Each structure stands twice: as C-alpha cells, then as structure tokens.
Structure 1
C-alpha cells in the first residue's frame, strides 16, 4: 500500500517537473527556433514567425497542462490517503 501511494505522489512530482521544463523551453522558444532554423555555414537567414510561435506556444500549452495534471493527481492522491487513514 505504501508503495502505491509513493508512486502516485511521484507521478505528481514528475508532471510538475515536466511542466516546469516545458515552461522554461517556451520562455526560450525564440532562441531555440533561431538555432534550429539556421543553415550550416550561413551568416544571414530569417526565421519565420510561425516557427517562433510554435516553439513558444506549444510547450507553453503542454507545460500548463502538465501543471494542472500535477495538481489534480496530487489532490486526488491526498484525498485518497486521507479517506483511507
């Protein structure tokens, strides 16, 4: 029983850390998009706004979803442990 409870709390922590990592990635989305779109050996290039937006907003949305999932799993597991003991 103790192992199952620990696993539930670990999954909540995992979702929290994934959300934090994805929010950091979305904060640096513009720099990541520029680095990925740069052709090798070129000194001048342009990065499309859509690529910058996708590297910014997609990790942001998934990160917020992971935070919400972390809160839900933690709340449900806490409720479950309080109810049993």
Structure 2
C-alpha cells in the first residue's frame, strides 16, 4: 500500500538526483576541462578559458533546469497524491 502511494514520486525524485548530479559535475568543471583537454603523452598543456566555462556553466544550467522540472513535477505529484487520499 505504501509503495503504491509513493510510486507517483519516482519521477520527481529522479529529476532531483539528476539536477544535483549535474550541479556537482559543473562545480568540478575546471578540473574536468583540464582532464579532457590534455593531449596524449603530454607533460604540460594549457586549457582555454572558453573550455573551462563550457565545462562549468553548461552542466550547471542543465542541473538548474532539472531542479526546476523537479519542483514542477513534485508539485503536480503532491497535488494528485493529496487529491486521491
């Protein structure tokens, strides 16, 4: 019975975890940009500022959008859950 009641919250919780994951990836953007821009067998290299910004801001924007979708779907799911009780 409890599983059936909370089944409607699976989609919002998934969006929440995806949002948090993308925000964490965006917070580690400069490190990831340095890792992905490293040429094979290179001991020193430089990473452009635009690549660092891309690895930082794009995942952050995706994460914020997932959190907004979470808020919307959670509100709808909570409304339907309250309506059916």
CA distance in 1, matches of 2:80, 2:6: 9
Report the secondary structure of 1:65's partner residue.
helix
Give CA deviations for 1:16-63 in whole Å, capped at 9, x if unaligned: 000010011000000000000000111111111111001000000000
Structure 1 residue aligned with 2:60: 60
Aligned length: 83
Alpha-carbon shift at residue 84 of structure 1 (Å): 2.5
What is the root-mean-square deviation of aligned Cα atoms in Å?
1.5
Report how far residue 3 of structure 1 moved. 4.6
Structure 1: 5+ residue runs without aligned partners?
none
- Greater CA deviation, 75-84 or 29-38? 75-84
Q: After TM superposition, which residue ranges in structure 1, 4 or more long, deviate above 6 angstroms?
A: none
Counterpart position of 1:83: 83
Q: 2:51 corresponds to which residue?
A: 51
- Asked if 1:11 corresponds to 2:11, the answer is yes
Structure 1 length-normalised TM: 0.89
CA distance in 1, matches of 2:43, 2:58: 28
* Structure 2 alignment gaps of length 5 or more: none
Alignment of 1:20-39 (within 5 A): 20-39=20-39
